[in-house]
Amino acid sequence: MRLDVVSIFPDYLAPLRLSLVGKAVDSGILDLRVHDLRDWTHDRHRTVDDTPYGGGAGMVMRPEPWGEALDTLAPPDGAQPRFVVPTPAGRPFTQDLATELAAEPWLVFGCGRYEGIDQRVVEYAGSRMRVDEVSLGDYVLAGGEVAVLVIVEAVARLLPGVLGNPESLTEESHGTGSMAGLLEYPVYTKPPNWRDREVPPVLLSGHHGRIARWRRDEALRRTARRRPDLLRRLAAGGLDAQDRKV
């Protein structure tokens, strides 16, 4: 998968060279290219922003450097990427969207400051490529860079060959396995007693059926407490008779 990231703080994307995503880059699974938006300015001060028409606080990113960036990275007569613009005004970023993005051959990310990019950039891009304005949640970050770190990590770990054990993809929170729609159950490792706290004995019992039932019950209890919205969605079809007793 090819990934282009356009930002006025390209150094902010340095963590993409580390850990799981960094390994995917080193192995060639990800072809990561980070660009400085100011390389597509032409004035002495490499200006990328200006005051908002209509008034109001803050600055808005001017459209010209973004237009040149898009035309350089994806010439209009060639193959087109999917353009992802992180913004608190976007649609929610979910595991389903991560799965969708992981199936694309080429993503371009545009990092704006939170007052945003001139809307004509999104309109123009939409005239020749798929555009997604995406939000991580109901809070405001100073810019899109951290959101790109989040989105790229969520997408990269879904690519074939990135995870050591692809089974961890199905059983996790928001996955599609036996815990689909539930938060993950609690996990334990050695030692069996630590600071007077025991590992739940069922996990040491070797009874695979009882362990599976215990894990599902814990996942249900945790989801009910922390994310009642998720549980209500499941109650519309994804719960069995035993689940309903928890």
Residue 35: CB atoms within 10 Å: 18
In sequence order, the 6+-apart residues with CB closer than 8 A to the CB of 174 are 94, 95
141 binds ligand 6GU, rule: CB under 6 A: yes
83 contacts 139 by C-beta, under 8 angstroms:
no
Q: How many residues does the chain have?
A: 246
Instruction: Tell me whether strands 49-50 and 31-36 are parallel, antiparallel or unpaired.
Output: unpaired
Residue 96: CB atoms within 10 Å: 11
In whole angstroms, the minimum distance from the beta carbon of 111 to ligand 6GU comes to 8
Residues 108-127 touching ligand 6GU, rule: CB under 6 A, are 114
In whole angstroms, the minimum distance from the beta carbon of 133 to ligand 6GU comes to 8
In whole angstroms, the minimum distance from the beta carbon of 223 to ligand 6GU comes to 23
98 binds ligand 6GU, rule: CB under 6 A: no
Residue 3 or residue 182: which is nearer to ligand 6GU going by CB?
A: 3
59 binds ligand 6GU, rule: CB under 6 A: no
In whole angstroms, the minimum distance from the beta carbon of 116 to ligand 6GU comes to 9
Residue 134 or residue 219: which is nearer to ligand 6GU going by CB?
A: 134
In whole angstroms, the minimum distance from the beta carbon of 103 to ligand 6GU comes to 21
**CA proximity to 158, closest of 109, 95, 203:** 95
219 contacts 182 by C-beta, under 8 angstroms:
yes
Select from 142-150, 186-194, 209-217, 222-230 the region that touches ligand 6GU (CB under 6 A): 142-150
- C-alpha–C-alpha distance, residues 96 and 109, integer Å: 18
- C-alpha–C-alpha distance, residues 200 and 210, integer Å: 12
106 binds ligand 6GU, rule: CB under 6 A: no
What single DSSP character describes residue 177?
S
Q: Which tokens hold the place of 246?
A: 């928890």
144 binds ligand 6GU, rule: CB under 6 A: yes
Select from 80-88, 121-129, 162-170, 211-219 the region that touches ligand 6GU (CB under 6 A): 80-88
User: Where does this chain bind ligand 6GU (CB under 6 A)?
Assistant: 86-88, 90, 114, 134-137, 139-141, 143-144, 147
Binding-site residue ranges for S-adenosyl-L-methionine: 112, 136-141
